[in-house]
Chains A and B, each alone.
Chain A
Amino acid sequence: MNWLMVIAGALVGAPLRYLTDRAVQARHDSALPWGTFTVNLAACAGLGLLTGAATAATVPSALHHFVGPGLCATLSTYSTFSYETVRLAGTGARFHAAVNAVAGVVAGLAAAFLGGELAGALFR
């Protein structure tokens, strides 16, 4: 059952990442990869909310596996984040590469904290 929920979450998360990236990238001409930034931020907030809710209330195992290792973990990506950062550095945009790396990590961590805080407020 847990495996099925992870698979179901991944079936949603991976195409959602692809579509979000396409939609975000089509709306600006910035050098920074905002599409990956957006999906990672959303997934960090979502997983932060889920794990925060799990500490305050009982989250059914099926829902936990669908949203956690299924949807949020698959929606987010480290390999594309790494690739885009190294590619920026390789094309001479070293400042953009550093901004992308640091902003991605700091914003993702902040979103994880905010998701947890939100869960604490909702499920106390």
Chain B
Amino acid sequence: MHDRPEAATPAAGRQPAPAEILATVAAGGVIGACARYGATLLWPTAAGTFPWTTFWINVTGSSAMGLLMVLVTERATVHPLVRPFLGTGVLGGYTTFSTYAVDARDLFDGHRAGTALLYLTTTLAAALSALWATSALTRLLVRPRPRPDGSTAA
């Protein structure tokens, strides 16, 4: 899909070079990582308790991904670096699977298996629900862009 030149519209411009994509992903990743690290400094969670900060990071990041992906794949023609920057970079770097898994492991190790299982399942359920709901809401609120021939892009 991405490497079909004929699919590129004039608004999307030329395809970016691999080095441009990598630099864009890295820049977005730094922004996302700083937002995540800053949040953990602002709202630290004590050992042995439900890791609320990482919970909300992963839920809000998944929700934002739902918004972004509907907009860039179904509703608008954007610059080809927007998705690598915001999706792979910022949101990919902001959310974290490793902290989620290691925090759950630490809860198990601290004999808080109930909290660990609750954390594992509620994060999964909340992140998936948030992404699904945000996608549905975006489809509802943002109209498909009409094509020149009058039909809709969706």
Contact = CB atoms under 8 A, between A and B. Distances in A.
Interface of A: 3, 6-7, 9-11, 13-15, 17-19, 40, 43-44, 46-48, 51, 69-70, 72-83, 85-86, 101, 104-105, 108-109, 111-113, 116
Contacts of B88: 14, 17-18, 80
A14 B92 contact: yes
B58 A79 contact: yes
B142 interface: no
A86 B66 contact: yes
A101 B128 contact: yes
Contacts of B91: 77, 79-80
18 contacts: A10-B26, A10-B29, A13-B33, A14-B28, A15-B25, A43-B97, A44-B97, A69-B99, A74-B93, A80-B87, A81-B97, A82-B62, A82-B127, A82-B128, A83-B69, A83-B131, A108-B101, A112-B105
A68 to B, nearest CB: 8
Interface of B: 21-22, 25-26, 28-30, 32-34, 36-37, 40, 57-58, 61-62, 64-66, 69, 84, 87-89, 91-102, 104-106, 109, 120, 123-124, 127-128, 130-132, 135
Contacts, number: 170
A44 B87 CA distance: 21
Contacts of B106: 51
Given A69-B37, A70-B33, A77-B96, A47 B102 contact: yes
Contact of B98 (A3, A6, A75, A83): A75
A11 B30 CA distance: 6
Pick the most buried of A13, A79, A112: most chain B CB atoms within 10 A of its CB.
A79
Contact of B58 (A7, A78, A86, A111): A78
The 10 closest A-B pairs by CB, nearest first: A14-B29, A10-B33, A78-B95, A76-B97, A43-B98, A82-B62, A108-B101, A79-B65, A78-B58, A73-B96
